[in-house]
Amino acid sequence: MEIPEKTLNVVHIAEPVMEFGNGQTCDHPKDGLFLYGAHDGPRSVRHVSVGVVGTEQGIAYLAEWAHKISRLVRVPPPGKTEKKLRLHLSDFPGIAEAFGISIDPNAFVRRVIGAKNIDDASLTVNHHEAVAKAADLYVDQIIHHDHHEEHKVDVWILVLPELIFERCKPQSRRSGLGLIKGDFGKRQRTRVDLPLLSDVIDQSEEEIFDDIPDFHRQVKARLLKVGYTSQLLRETTLAPESFKNSAGYATRRLQEPASVAWNLATGLYYKTQPKPPWKLAHVRPGVCYVGLAFKNLPNHPQNHACCAAQMFLSEGDGVVFRGANGPWKTAEREYHLKTAEAKNLIAMVLDTYKDKQGGPPKELFIHGKTTFSEEEWDAFAQAAPSGTNVIGVRIKTTSGDVKLFRDGDYPVLRGTAMILSDRNAYLWTNGFLPRLATYIGPETPNPLFVTVLKCTGELPALETVLADIMGLTKLNYNACNYSDGLPVTIRFADKVGEILTMGSAKDAERQPFKFYV
């Protein structure tokens, strides 16, 4: 008996394009910014007020770097062994030319911290106390300025010496440092759950949660209350040529200066302007994307977790909503909300969407890394108005269980999709980029496994779902890359969750996404 051959249904999802100044479109953010400027950017060059906290030397590094990005930063010429043009690299034209903003080092609001103070704080015996003291040195300077000065700062830049990076992270090696005895007696305290809405029940009990000894997370969590966006920069990023080992080589391997300028300038623009530097073009009207994030609360006696939702619109900017703490992790090692908490979380998302758009969304896509329980899904569906089609999509990373090869020197094209059914597909969001004539990656790329789990209305076309995911890979405003391997709804889930599990983030019920990156 002859067995018929089964043909794989492989399609290609077109590369999404973005909208920049004057309604012009382009698929590469660097080219779009260079040619057309930022989407809905300032009509004339706008000065950005920068506050900087660091040592005298660190602030000097930032000032010198600010002078450099005010003018052209060229990509170094290709090396002798490089045969092809490096199309994935682009000269940086200057921050005013690309973004329509300027930063003046002479006008920095400067808050100086003594290098010895940072050294002493980070050497405290108790790691929790050490990180808290180091974070206090920086955050207290911002709070002091906020309370005593009238000058408004658009963004705070924290310049960090390497010892912060080395000593103030979880799992930092602290042996042989000559640690100093501190005054913090850490005690075990009973953990309780935090209710969702602060105007219903007093949330002061959340203060009993301990902050993880992570400088970045502590600073971001504490600044949520102050209402400032921030950028944390290592001195070695700003002045790599000043940090060399005994053999005369740089202690850190960084991208070339033009790429560093593109990435940091994009972050500065995003964190200081009303709208992001670009948005997706040709997006269906009335579409809202939500990514669910779960993170275990540190040291909780019952292993409770914090839930959050990240909402993104076609304009690109996002909002983070904090849900309730609770026993969301199941025996199957997945996270699922109970009815009340699921309804409340989606209700907050829909209320904000209505405030921004004037009415409910036509389509509400909920992205997660796992499936949805029946109780959870029913709550999502009940929270949405009748005219909104709620679509649950699972997006899973894979680790080599599926590979697709093509005839040629490079891997499959980015955007290649293997359609398995009307609900399941593999999608390669990494791969060969004809636009750049290269593949940016160390090995054969792995696909995402995408499943449309449920919907309350008409089942959307799978290729439409995949195209949306491709578009969401181009909304990382913390860098200026051609694309990411994960959609923004999933990519930052862990980072958002890590910050929200900090006790010092207790009042962060609803904040713009830019405060978390």
CATH number at residue 233: 3.40.50.2300
State the Cα–Cα distance between residues 376 and 166, nearest whole angstrom: 41
Residue 301 confidence (pLDDT): 67
Q: Are residues 485 and 502 in the same domain?
A: yes
DSSP 326-383: E--B-TTS-B---HHHHHHHHHHHHHHHHHHHSS--SEEEEEESS---HHHHHHHHHH
Q: Are residues 163 and 225 in the same domain?
A: yes
Residue 261 confidence (pLDDT): 97
Reply yes or no on whether the pLDDT at 258 is more than 70: yes
Which of 59-63, 434-438, 478-482 is the most confident on average?
A: 59-63
Q: Are residues 360 and 475 in the same domain?
A: yes
The DSSP H or E segment spanning 102 is: strand 101-102
Reply yes or no on whether the pLDDT at 259 is more than 60: yes
Residue 194 confidence (pLDDT): 40
Evaluate whether residue 419 is within a structural domain.
yes
Residue 172 pLDDT grade (very low, low, confident, very high; cuts 50, 70, 90):
confident
Among 48-52, 79-83, 118-122, 291-295, which is the least confidently predicted range?
79-83
Residue 126 confidence (pLDDT): 85
| 106-122 pLDDT, tens digit each | 999 999 999 999 999 99
Evaluate whether residue 40 is within a structural domain.
no
Residue 190 pLDDT grade (very low, low, confident, very high; cuts 50, 70, 90):
very low
Mean pLDDT of 398-410: 83
The DSSP H or E segment spanning 307 is: strand 305-312
Reply yes or no on whether the pLDDT at 356 is more than 70: yes
Reply yes or no on whether the pLDDT at 504 is more than 70: no
* Domain extent at residue 52: 47-72+94-173+216-244+255-274
Evaluate whether residue 1 is within a structural domain.
no
| 137-146 pLDDT, tens digit each | 999 999 999 9
Reply yes or no on whether the pLDDT at 177 is more than 70: no
| 273-331 pLDDT, tens digit each | 999 999 999 889 999 999 998 888 877 767 788 888 999 987 767 888 888 888 888 87
Among all chains, which residue has been given the structure tokens 């969304």? 361
Nearest to 415, CA basis, from 27, 16, 13, 28: 13
Residue 84 confidence (pLDDT): 57
Q: Are residues 327 and 227 in the same domain?
A: no
Residue 408 confidence (pLDDT): 75
Among all chains, which residue has been given the structure tokens 């300028």? 261
Residue 121 confidence (pLDDT): 93
Reply yes or no on whether the pLDDT at 80 is more than 90: no
State the Cα–Cα distance between residues 417 and 225, nearest whole angstrom: 43
Q: Are residues 169 and 287 in the same domain?
A: no
Residue 509 confidence (pLDDT): 65
Q: Average pLDDT of the chain?
A: 87
Q: How many domains does the chain have?
A: 2
Residue type, position 110, single letter: R
Mean pLDDT of 234-244: 93
Reply yes or no on whether the pLDDT at 102 is more than 70: yes
- Which burial class, exposed, middle or buried, applies to 131 when counting CB atoms under 10 A from its CB (0-12, 13-18, 19+)? buried
Reply yes or no on whether the pLDDT at 57 is more than 70: yes
Q: Which residue has the higher pLDDT, 8 or 160?
A: 160
Interhelix angle for 115-122 vs 127-148, to 10°? 140
CATH number at residue 448: 3.30.420.10
Q: Are residues 302 and 240 in the same domain?
A: no
Evaluate whether residue 287 is within a structural domain.
yes
Q: With pLDDT > 90 as the criterion, what percentage of the chain qualifies?
A: 62
Please tell me what DSSP assigns to residue 194.
P
Q: Are residues 330 and 438 in the same domain?
A: yes
Among all chains, which residue has been given the structure tokens 């899973």? 396
Residue 78 pLDDT grade (very low, low, confident, very high; cuts 50, 70, 90):
confident
Q: Are strands 155-160 and 50-54 parallel, antiparallel or unpaired?
A: parallel
Q: Are residues 132 and 109 in the same domain?
A: yes
Residue 203 confidence (pLDDT): 34
Q: Which residue has the higher pLDDT, 211 or 371?
A: 371
Contact assessment for residue 210 and residue 301, using Cβ atoms and an 8 Å cutoff: no
Residues in the chain: 517
> Phi/psi at 387 (nearest 5 deg)?
-85, 0
Reply yes or no on whether the pLDDT at 202 is more than 50: no
Mean pLDDT of 198-212: 43
Q: With pLDDT > 70 as the criterion, what percentage of the chain qualifies?
A: 88
Residue 329 confidence (pLDDT): 83
Measured CA angle at 359 (ends 356, 362), to 5 deg: 110
Residue 191 confidence (pLDDT): 39
Q: Are residues 386 and 480 in the same domain?
A: yes
Among 19-33, 55-69, 309-323, 356-370, which is the least confidently predicted range?
309-323
Residue 106 confidence (pLDDT): 96
Evaluate whether residue 104 is within a structural domain.
yes
C-alpha separations of 54 from 61, 115, 169 in Å: 10, 8, 18
Q: Are residues 270 and 354 in the same domain?
A: no
Nearest to 381, CA basis, from 435, 482, 453: 453
Among 54-58, 151-155, 295-299, 416-420, which is the least confidently predicted range?
295-299
| 452-486 pLDDT, tens digit each | 999 999 999 999 999 999 999 999 999 999 999 99
Name residues whose C-beta falls within 8 Å of residue 77's C-beta, 6 or more positions apart in sequence.
none
Residue 302 confidence (pLDDT): 74
Q: Are residues 222 and 149 in the same domain?
A: yes
**Which 3 state secondary structure label does DSSP give 26?**
strand
Residue 189 confidence (pLDDT): 41
Residue 506 pLDDT grade (very low, low, confident, very high; cuts 50, 70, 90):
low
Evaluate whether residue 200 is within a structural domain.
no
Q: SS3 sequence, 123-163?
A: CECCHHHHHHHHHHHHHHHHHHHHHHCCCCCCEEEEEECHH
Evaluate whether residue 316 is within a structural domain.
yes
State the Cα–Cα distance between residues 74 and 37, nearest whole angstrom: 19
Evaluate whether residue 28 is within a structural domain.
no
State the Cα–Cα distance between residues 462 and 488, nearest whole angstrom: 19
pTM of the model: 0.89
Q: Are residues 266 and 341 in the same domain?
A: no
Reply yes or no on whether the pLDDT at 368 is more than 80: yes
Strand ranges in 337-495 using DSSP code E only, listed in sequence order: 363-368, 389-397, 416-419, 424-427, 448-455
